[in-house]
Amino acid sequence: QIQLVQSGPELKKPGETVKISCKASGYTFTNYGMNWVKQAPGKGLKWMGWINTYTGEPTYADDFKGRFAFSLETSASTAYLQINNLKNEDMATYFCARSLYGSSPYYFDYWGQGTTLTVSS
Amino acid sequence: DIQMTQSPSSLSASLGGKVTITCKASQDINKYIAWYQHKPGKGPRLLIHYTSTLQPGIPSRFSGSGSGRDYSFSISNLEPEDIATYYCLQYDNLLTFGAGTKLELK
């Protein structure tokens, strides 16, 4: 069955770097794009951007340009979200979600379980 | 960027009842809207895409409709497991979520 399994909770200090993984199984990894979605505490869902798993090209939503990086380890069917120079406002749960795509992603049909990031000095 | 105005932000309903949530887009989104159910500690669950297409395994109690800028999502015959937060997502031009609707039992 199709699964996206994310890495465990993270506790980081401001200024540090975090890398969250999302391991896919049950389908051909390069046939679907991988998206990242942020949910801050008590807030709604916000699309961060996506990575074309066939070409490796990332696209970042406007609010996530600069400190955020999407990457792949295609041989391991795994996508990564890296956040550099962590700030308090990065504290959130991060989800990966797969989608078919054309020039941009379509809706997300499968999601990871979420990774909770705590940022505290 | 396309904005999605979702309402209400919360609602309470009785078991067996019906609820309707609306999403209004800032421009025509050509029916490219999906609806999700989200429960704490889990990833969201896709219920409907392309306005009204039910995902396999989703009960027919869930339905969607709309066109242009205006879309709605309904749940009939409410069951206890329907208690969750619901989101719309437009995917006509990049992707934008609505703010969410928290559904509680009356």
Q: Which of A25, A26, A21 is nearest to A36 (CA)?
A: A21
Is B89 in CB contact (< 8 Å) with chain A? yes
Q: Which residues are B36's β-sheet partners?
A: B46, B87
Query: Residue A102: its pLDDT value, please?
Result: 85
Query: Residue B54: its pLDDT value, please?
Result: 98
Question: Tens of pLDDT along A55-82?
Answer: 999 999 999 999 999 999 999 999 999 9
Contact criterion met (CB < 8 Å) for B46 and A108: yes
* CA nearest to A44 within chain B: B99
Is pLDDT above 90 for B51?
Answer: yes
Distance CA B61, CA B45 (A): 15
CB-nearest partner of A112 from B34, B43, B49: B43
* Local confidence band at A39 (pLDDT 50, 70, 90 cut-offs): very high
CB-nearest partner of B43 from A61, A62, A95: A95
Is A3 in CB contact (< 8 Å) with chain B? no
Query: Residue B42: its pLDDT value, please?
Result: 96
- Tracing tokens 């069917």 back to the chain, one arrives at A77
B42: tokens are: 């889990």
- List CB contacts (< 8 A) between A110 and chain B: 43, 46
- List CB contacts (< 8 A) between A44 and chain B: 87, 97-100
* CA nearest to B92 within chain A: A106
Q: Do B34 and B91 meet the contact criterion of CB atoms below 8 Å apart?
A: yes
Identify the residue among A107, A108, A113, A116 best suited for mutation to test binding to B, counting B beta carbons within 10 A and taking the highest.
Answer: A107
Question: Tens of pLDDT along B26-50?
Answer: 999 999 999 999 999 999 999 999 9
Residues 6+ apart with CB under 8 A from A42: none
- List CB contacts (< 8 A) between A4 and chain B: 43
- Could you give the 3-state DSSP secondary structure of residue A88? helix
Is B46 in CB contact (< 8 Å) with chain A? yes
CB-nearest partner of A104 from B42, B89, B94: B94
Cis peptide before B8 (omega within 30 of 0): yes
